[in-house]
A and B are shown apart, each in its own frame.
Chain A
Amino acid sequence: MPENKLEVDSILYNYGHRQLLTDIFLSCDTGEIVGLLGRNGCGKTTLLKIIFGTLPTPNKHIRITGKVYTEPYKSDNLLAYLPQHDFLPANLKLHNIIDLYHIEPEKKETIKQDKRIQKHLTKYPGELSKGELRYFELMLLLQKDVKFVLLDEPFSGISPLHVEFIEELLKTHLSTKGFIITDHDYQSVLRVSNRVILLADGYCRPINYMEELYQWGYIPANALN
């Protein structure tokens, strides 16, 4: 198994006068799913965009397998990012999108032969249900030879069945990739993650017990039952 390590350090980000992220430290290894939880507006998406390299920030240090990158997304085969909202061009059919995204025939075939995608190949992204679309988007990104995948709300607004399909998909790629995943469906995140981090007050806090989520004010007391 290729061993890679993503280390994110010293991230500062201000939103207006408010310091949203304060000296963040986060790491992820190959074979690991790191769950990133946090309240609305705490900076989860901002953090993922900073790691991906598309959001400039006054200070950051992103190291992948010992090498420092300022805009990792521009380097080949490092990171992929699944944004919160649909990101596929609406005017291309799924099979065209696959052909555009992948050069290697075997990767194209793997996606096209997937039993959940096969029947939709001639459709446009807009014709798919939210769950089907999310599954396809993830499949598209997971076939890339990237070392780490950043997932921003992959379970948001999709049915439990598709949540399970997505969980399966992540597990099948764990041997070659590491994942940082954030979602408000915290139960799915807790189920799928090896390690959980809570982003609160601009800091990343490691979570070892469910009670800590309550103590930090992320879940209500009755959620512990």
Chain B
Amino acid sequence: MHRYKPYLLYYRTLMSFSLPFSLLAGIVSLGFSDNKLIGFINSFSLSILTGGFFLALFFYEQRYQNQYYFYHNLGISKAGLIVGSYLFNVAIAVLLFILKLYMYA
């Protein structure tokens, strides 16, 4: 578990940028969807996998670029952190997709 903690820390920081943006995307979509909850889930999932995620990477690079050395000293590469975080988001999107299927059923 200890070896995954740095990945979680990085992910948490990325999400602090990505989450507000993705929630906003979800809320905006409420106005355009027939089924509001499903519209929210679709937009939120799409955002954390695309725009929200890349925007978060951009902001992290701008503000905390030097913190990558915190992870490098633990043997973790930048690519490893980014791929790890993206997989987290994929897992969330899959869970939301399952929830959506459950709601349709």
Contacts and interface: CB of A to CB of B under 8 A. Distances in A.
Interface stretch (B31-39, B49-57, B64-72, B94-102): B64-72
Contact of A85 (B13, B66, B75, B77): B66
B73 interface: yes
Interface stretch (B2-10, B17-25, B85-93): B2-10
A54 B9 CA distance: 20
A144 B13 CA distance: 25
Contacts of A141: 73
Contacts of A81: 69, 72-73
B5 A100 contact: yes
A7 B96 CA distance: 51
Interface string A58-93: 000000000000010111100011010111111110
B96 to A, nearest CB: 26
Contacts of A214: none
A71 B72 CA distance: 10
Interface of A: 52, 54, 71, 73-76, 80-81, 83, 85-92, 100-101, 103, 141, 144
Contacts of B69: 54, 81, 83, 87
B73 A73 contact: yes
B70 A87 contact: yes
Interface of B: 2, 5-6, 9, 13, 64, 66-70, 72-75, 77-78
Contacts of A80: 73
A85 B72 CA distance: 14
A74 B68 CA distance: 13
A108 B89 CA distance: 32
A85 B64 CA distance: 11
Given A54-B72, A83-B69, A89 B77 contact: no
- Which of B6, B13, B69, B72 has the largest number of chain A CB atoms within 10 A? B69
A212 to B, nearest CB: 32
B9 A92 contact: yes
A88 B77 contact: no
A76 B75 contact: yes
A89 B75 contact: no
Given A81-B69, A83-B66, A89 B13 contact: yes
Nearest to B2: A103
B77 A74 contact: yes
B66 A101 contact: no
Nearest to B5: A100
B66 A87 contact: yes
Given A100-B5, A100-B6, A100-B9, A89 B73 contact: no
